Structure 1
């Protein structure tokens, strides 16, 4: 969190004043875009989602209760993504003719440009894209963003048991999708051993895919290029 936002949150509630649009975008745009990309799986949707998040933030700042600003952004970003995913799924199924079942496809492959922008493993992103939106959100928040189960429960507005179930099932599906990256025979000190370790660490780092609490991986996605457009009235 930036110094400006932290100072505001530590000040008495009566003295708290919402940050400016420029401050919010400057301090949080990279984090929001990173989460948006992990959730949507492509640059175009990530940029659209990021813009929608900051429009929502701008409209809601006056009603924000000082607390964990990043947690508030996580909640807005994830909820907007889930709304978008449900809306698109409904439109896709309702809009197809009876003879167009063969047109039902999953998410389009991640564009090369998006891969260059994020420097994120294509296999892992494809595996994330294949998850149901609810599972994907839980896994991304835990294994990539580093949130605890309790924080994810608050962000998604679901019970702790539901969070654990979604993460467990999401990780199981990721393991199955990435199984081709783990050689069946591994000898200590060989290249196969290192490739297997890379596959285990592909999502979230360490044992994050297999189970247990996860930490966010080193590095991260680069923010979307260019300045963030401002909503009307800023």
Structure 2
């Protein structure tokens, strides 16, 4: 059976429309479709499973409360924008921007499917990613770990697509420089 997330946009749109009418099964489907990707997003940024689960729970509560303000055709971007806002609030209240980035290394290192050489490179990449500004690291995580398209990133960040492309490009360029100049 295919994951529902892989279903066409019309299917997601239909489910969102049902959820907006209070259909509990539709809410359940949306949670099933996005919980894994959003958990990964929060875990990569916090480095803490409990905090990632707590943020995920808060996000889905907000989704239920605010689904009426969502345009069904942009649901994914809307949901990730709420996730981004929730994470920003988390950083403000916990004041953990540096600690947050240090945990990316742990997550990357624990991915068992990577060969040993790739683990070395992943460790190095995670160390260098920690050196980026939190906003830049978040954009790179959203783009390459959470696999948001540039259009979705633009919607999440409420910025023109050109600005998002530029920020991703500059972030990758800075990350590349850090990788090349590291002593590892």
- The TM-score range, normalised by the shorter chain, is 0.5 to 0.7
Aligned residues: CA RMSD: 3.7
Report the CA distance between 1:2 and its aligned residue.
Answer: 6.5
Report the TM-score, using the length of structure 1 for normalisation: 0.55
| 1:9 equivalenced with 2:13 (yes/no) | yes
Equivalence map 1:23-62=2 (5 Å): 23-62=29-68
Match of 1:78 in 2: 84
Match of 1:137 in 2: 138
Cα 1:113/1:140, change in 2 over 3 Å: closer
Cα 1:60/1:133, change in 2 over 3 Å: same
State the distance in 2 between where 1:46 and 1:87 align. Answer: 15
| 1:149 equivalenced with 2:141 (yes/no) | no
Runs (4 or more) in structure 1 with deviation over 6 Å come to 180-183
Pick aligned residue for 1:107 from 84, 99, 103 = 99
Equivalence map 1:113-128=2 (5 Å): 119=112, 121-128=122-129
Cα 1:133/1:123, change in 2 over 3 Å: same
Do the aligned residues in 2 keep the contact of 1:142 with 1:152 (CA within 8 Å)?
Answer: yes
Which stretches in structure 2 are left out of the alignment for 5+ residues?
A: 115-121
Which stretches in structure 1 are left out of the alignment for 5+ residues?
A: 93-104, 184-234
Report the TM-score, using the length of structure 2 for normalisation: 0.67
Higher Cα radius of gyration:
1
How many residues align? The count is: 166
Report the CA distance between 1:124 and its aligned residue.
Answer: 3.0
Do the aligned residues in 2 keep the contact of 1:153 with 1:160 (CA within 8 Å)?
Answer: yes
